[in-house]
Amino acid sequence: MFSHATRKHKRVRGARLTSVKGRKGWYIAWYEPRADIRVAPYKADPQHGLRLADTPRGVMVAADPPREHALTRYIGRGDLIILVGSVRVGTVAQFNKAIHAYAGEHIGLRVNRGGKEGCVRRVKKAGVNRDEAEGAFAKWLAQRKRADDGLPEIAERADLTFAQLVEETVAWANTAQSGYSPGWARAVGFTLRLIAQHYGPYLLKEITPAMLGKWADERAGDVTPATLGNNIKALRAAFRLAVARQYVETDPSAGLKIAAPRAARPKYLKPDQIALLLKCARQADAERLCASTGAVKVKERAARKWYNADGTFDAARIRFLLLSGLRRSQLTSLTWSQYDRERGSIVLESRPDHTEKSKRVNVVPLPREARAIIDAQPAGAPYIFPNLHGERDTYIGFRIIRIAALVQQRGGWHFHLHLLRHTALTMLLKHTHDPAAVQRFAGHADMKTTLRYAWVLDDQLKIMTDDFNPMNTEYVQEKNHE
């Protein structure tokens, strides 16, 4: 029984695994056009001087080469050229690319003499047992596909170091082929380069599961389980790429275990903490304007138009996040075109290159006070909450550092922006007792994410169950007396 990919390849080329009478083991059998290999002395020449034509069956020599041409003795009019070196060619453009890139004293051409049709059956030993043969067959199919695409064969890289693999993985992670978001691609690069400081000089064949297990144990003492899990994911991405490119046969990081994330209660702010936070935010906004002198003060005066009428800047953003429950990226990218003033809602659309926990498109109804904050924002920029230059606010994280320092100094607790989202969703669920409504408001694609906040309903459930008695009804009591 062949795999799906094998059956598909069998229909296209007739390639399959089979046994050969009188021989031991398993063999790859396939059919190729009847042709022969001709090795000719040749040096790369952009002006090869050959008249070629595209045909449904491949590249055909349209006229005999000139008498002085190096390939005159080897090809003639009507011949079909199938291979140039190890590169399979099907069009004139592919032929030109392959022959221009050829660097050698001699060139090998597989030529179908006179363009005669017909195929020849070929076999190649794949392995002694079926498992070994399946692996060899998969590699053979990959090599044939690369040859069909005009790519060189993948060579075994026994001398490849971990540092070289890291650079290849970082380059691959930043391509669309990987499917990684820009943030995760940066995290993979940072993590792998950090690991390469210790294992960079090692050859890939020298890295063992025991060595990586020792690294994971040492790393577990320095970072949280979540960070260690992300480190292992980045390491696996590198070795999966190495296996796919046939640098190694097995993945030494496959045995590393990632701890299951603990279902911790999301932290949220109490009313007194919210009051302290807003007070510190207003103080930071005032310091930013009063502490400027000279040329900086002139720039601040020009930027004052992006402040609210009451002189607040980040304080208004914090209040809006508390009311809307948006993420930081959603706040900074929010434009006026996403705001529906009549319906009092905003339309959030996730970027296609991001893998978020949210739905792709979500309509968020805003509370009355949140709508008032938007209406009070200065106009003139495409973004509702721009920076001091009227552009997208990518520096909000740096300004929050000052606010967090004031909160730590006065309240003794740590503040970060995502804490505002946790607070908004927790208080909304406590207010509505409706997880489905909160899920829609938050834009969660999975109800499990919303139910992380359901612990706030425990007290309400306790009150409701205290007086619960299914037997305390007139009907049940009447039946019991009978």
pLDDT in tens, 119-138: 667 778 888 888 778 878 88
Q: What are the C-alpha distances in Å from 35 to residues 73, 86, 115?
A: 16, 15, 9
How many Cα atoms within 13 Å fall on the side-chain side of residue 226?
Answer: 4
Average pLDDT estimate for 165-184: 85
- Give the separation between CA 277 and CA 397, rounded to whole angstroms: 15
pTM of the complete model: 0.52
Q: Domain ranges for the chain, please list them.
A: 1-34+118-154, 35-113, 162-244, 271-457
Which H helix or E strand runs over 375?
Answer: helix 368-375
Residue 380 has pLDDT above 60, yes or no: yes
Asked if residues 429 and 412 have their Cβ atoms less than 8 Å apart, the reply is no
Local structure of 123: helix, strand or coil: strand
Least Cα distance to 198 among 211, 187, 186, 188 occurs for 211
Say whether domain 162-244 belongs to CATH 1.10.150: yes
The fold of the 35-113 domain, in CATH, is Pdz3 Domain (2.30.42)
User: For position 276, what pLDDT does the model report?
Assistant: 94
Number of H helices, E strands in the chain: 18, 12
Least Cα distance to 413 among 275, 269, 218 occurs for 269
The fold of the 271-457 domain, in CATH, is hpI Integrase; Chain A (1.10.443)
pLDDT band per the 50, 70, 90 thresholds, residue 422 = very high
Asked if residues 195 and 218 have their Cβ atoms less than 8 Å apart, the reply is no
Residue 8 has pLDDT above 70, yes or no: no
Which residues, 6 or more positions from 193, have their beta carbon under 8 angstroms from its beta carbon?
Answer: 166, 170
What tens digit of pLDDT does each residue of 28-85 get? 887 766 666 666 666 656 556 788 888 877 788 888 887 777 777 777 777 777 777 6
Least Cα distance to 58 among 25, 94, 28 occurs for 94
User: For position 206, what pLDDT does the model report?
Assistant: 84
Q: To the nearest 5 percent, what fractions of the chain are helix, strand and coil?
A: 50, 15, 40
Share of the chain above pLDDT 70, in %: 78
Which H helix or E strand runs over 237?
Answer: helix 225-244
Q: Own/partner pairs for 118-121, CB < 8 Å, 24+ apart?
A: 118/33, 118/34, 119/31, 119/32, 119/33, 119/34, 120/31, 120/32, 120/33, 120/34, 121/29, 121/30, 121/31
pLDDT band per the 50, 70, 90 thresholds, residue 353 = very low
Give the chain's mean pLDDT: 79
Average pLDDT estimate for 199-222: 87
User: For position 280, what pLDDT does the model report?
Assistant: 93
pLDDT band per the 50, 70, 90 thresholds, residue 406 = very high
Phi, psi of 264 (to 5 degrees): -85, 150
Burial of residue 233 (number of CB atoms within 10 Å: 0-12, 13-18, 19+): middle
As a whole number of angstroms, the longest Cα–Cα distance in the chain is 119
